[in-house]
Structure 1
Amino acid sequence: MSDSETGVLDSFEPTRARKLAGTVAQVLRTQDADDFQTATCGELEFTFEGIPGDRHGGFTRLSGGREPWYPRGTEMVNERQISILSVEELAEIAKRMELDELKPEWIGANIVIEGLPGLSLIPPRTRLVFDGGAVIRVDGDNVPCRVAGRAIAENVPGREGLDLLFPQKARRLRGLVGFVEKPGVVKAGEAVTAHIPEQWIYDPDA
């Protein structure tokens, strides 16, 4: 083993795996293929392709500005099937933007969860296990963008600059994206458990 590899192991300080419980406050889906805004529904059926018929469903998707390492429009695996937001974080974003409210449907939510602290900071590989049996695997946090900001502006007439303000104020509060690991049905009011894996900082220069 090289000295550099030994140094990485010497600095290795994992945090323990944990389980945290929350509640599904709301479920939503897109209604129009040309509009990423969502609408509340009674329940969501998840398949391996995500939400059947949803704008963000499918085994694959086309790359965009979030994937500068690929030419735009490159077909790639769809790790962004599901958008998960937090009741508490939506309230915090609204406060930072000086809005009376920020509705999850304005920014394309599929699942809104209450009671999971720091939802947007939950790490990749976390499993969100719903009482009904469905499991969503977290890919990572959802970086706020001007598209969502423009959708907010459409719903808050009379306020200028919300499209730019949202990316500034919603950083690390905009929720998570993930993909369906185990199909099932999710309903508002059911419990969800975040199975958070062991974590560590990788520092090759340690």
Structure 2
Amino acid sequence: MQDLLSTIEAPVEIVPGRKLAAKAAALYAAPFDHFETRPVEELRLGFDGIVGDFHAGATRRSGGREPWYPRGTEMRNERQLSLVAADELAIVAERMGIAEIKPEWIGANLLIEGVPNLSMLPAGSLLFFKGGVTIKVDDQNGPCRIAGRSVAENAGMADREAGSLLFPKAAKRLRGLVAWVEKPGTIRAGEEISVRVPEQWIYRG
């Protein structure tokens, strides 16, 4: 049995988990009828996400990111929160030839400081906020043309259609993360966060 296990495990590289220190530099919430957010001092979170937010809910409707379902299929809402990093948004802005991309233009809820390569945090990473809230990373937030159009309009790009098409390319793997609420409560701007990155491996079958 030991020899068999050794044969199975040999090709698999296991990367140990680790802890990181971070901060919620800024917070944003969206009105119930539009995805763009606005700065707030605190976020009240329930198991459905941000109370009263555009993306709140235990479930959501499937879209282009879930081609395995007919569009509009009711499914679990794992996209309750959007997390971004200022350094990554600056790279995207440079690629698009604009001065800046503000987090609220693309519907972000949390601007996170202190995590290198935020968009590369793996699924399952946990963010423990000092005030008691815990959120869990589901996946990268794939950039789309809807967010791209918001960027183009807010940045005053001359060709807004071109800007909406450019954003998904410029923001690939830099658009941040989506997460859901594991332990509810209230997050406040400037709050310290302990990030726990899980043990990782690449499954090759």
Q: CA deviation at 1:7?
A: 4.8
Match of 2:118 in 1: 119
What SS class does the counterpart of residue 173 from structure 2 fall into? Answer: coil
Report if aligned partners of 1:142, 1:175 keep a CA contact under 8 Å in 2: yes
Report the CA distance shift for 1:145/1:195 in structure 2 as closer, same or farther (over 3 A).
same
CA displacement, residues 7-64 of structure 1 (integer Å, 9 cap, x when unaligned): 542212110110011111110000241x210000110011100011111001011111
1:90-129 alignment to 2 at 5 Å?
A: 90-129=89-128
TM-score norm. by structure 1 comes to: 0.93
Letter in 2 for 1:65: G
- Cα distance, 1:115 vs. partner? 1.4
Aligned-residue CA RMSD in angstroms? 1.6
Percent of matched pairs sharing the same residue: 51
Aligned AA for 1:152?
Answer: V
TM-score, length-normalised on structure 2?
A: 0.94
2:31–2:52 CA contact under 8 A, matched in 1: no
The 1:4–1:201 alpha-carbon spacing in structure 2 relative to 1, beyond 3 Å, is farther
Aligned length: 202
Given residue 192 of structure 2, which amino acid in structure 1 is its aligned partner?
A
CA contact (8 A) 2:24 2:110 kept: yes
Structure 1 residue ranges without an equivalent (≥5): none
1:26-175 paired onto structure 2 within 5 Å: 26-33=26-33, 35-160=34-159, 161-175=162-176
Change (3 A) 1:7 1:169: farther
2:43–2:188 CA contact under 8 A, matched in 1: yes
**Is residue 14–residue 199 contact of structure 2 (8 Å, CA) maintained in 1?**
yes
Distance 2:4 2:150 in 1: 48
Structure 2: stretches of 5+ with no match in the other structure: none
